[in-house]
Amino acid sequence: MVPLNIDGKALGDDIAKFVIDNHEALNIKYVIWYQRIYNVERADEGWRKMPDRGGDTQNHKDHPHVSFQTDSKGAPKDAAGKGGKGGGSDDSDDGNADNVNCEADGTGGGSGDDDIPDDGRKNPGAWGGHKNGEIPTDKLKKIPWTPDSKKEYLRKDATEALIAMNKAYKKEFNTDIAITDAYRDLAEQKVLYKRYGPGRAAVPGKSNHGWALAVDCGGGINKFGSPQHKWMQKNAKKFGWEHPPWAREGQKNQEAWHWEYYGKNKETEA
């Protein structure tokens, strides 16, 4: 436990920072501190706000909570990713939700998950047996209005949904949706991670851009409150596209330009 004062907050901040900065060596899964969660696999989202659980301990204000990667038997993995000796994980949640269930420290869990759309569809993720950032081009489809000098690709159904949305968007604004980035291969992810670091760029191999299920947009969509952004907020979901909660206005790592495909979310080889 850390004291519930300025010194305790500073100590907890230092502990959380050390763990995150050394997450690879320590094989960290996620960290909870001061009613926030940092998931290594979702590092591009940075710290995410968690629901109020009613007390300082329940909200992890008197202790940082650290969860480690485990093997198939629940034993902690060592830094090389192999199963280690000893007990299992101190929690049963995968760290993807904002209501992580911290059974070992008795803080309990909440209900609901702000990162899952209201209609129950799941977040974009792995498909087709491919590795993130290593998807063959013939499994993707070019966004047709992107220039040959900077071709942009998505999974085929995501591109088709984007084409349908673009048709409606063009009727409203008389121009195509400006796409500044879509699929990112592993090499590009590594460059961006080295340039921007944790919190501003996804850990290489973890980005939804690497699943070919995310786009970054310009042309006004990249500005909160613009007519283009408001149109996307109102209409994108009709076509299977979402502005994920972590990217919305007011969030720590808000990104008006970042949109993800939540549609069929399964392999489409046709």
pLDDT in tens, 167-218: 999 999 999 999 999 999 999 999 988 988 877 788 899 899 999 999 999 9
The helix-helix angle for 156-173 and 227-235 (nearest 10°) equals 130
Rounded to the nearest integer, the mean pLDDT of the chain is: 79
What band does 82 get if pLDDT is binned at 50, 70 and 90?
Answer: very low
Average pLDDT value for residue range 19-44: 86
**Strand, coil or helix: what is 55?**
coil
**pTM for the whole structure:** 0.56
pLDDT in tens, 103-136: 223 323 322 333 323 344 556 788 888 999 999 9
**Domain 137-261 belongs to what architecture?**
2-Layer Sandwich (3.30)
Cα(116)–Cα(96) distance, rounded to whole angstroms? 10
Residues above pLDDT 90, as percent of the chain? 40
Cα–Cα nearest to 124, from 202, 21, 177: 202
Pairing type for strands 28-32 and 65-68 reads antiparallel
Query: What pLDDT is recorded for position 264?
Result: 52
What are the residue ranges spanned by the domains of the chain?
1-113, 137-261
Query: What pLDDT is recorded for position 92?
Result: 34
Higher pLDDT pick, 167 / 12: 167
Those residues whose C-beta lies under 8 Å from the C-beta of residue 164, and which sit 6 or more positions away, are: 239
Query: What pLDDT is recorded for position 104?
Result: 29
The answer to whether 153 and 142 are in contact (CB under 8 A) is yes
Query: What pLDDT is recorded for position 3?
Result: 85
CA angle 221/96/135 to nearest 5° reads: 65
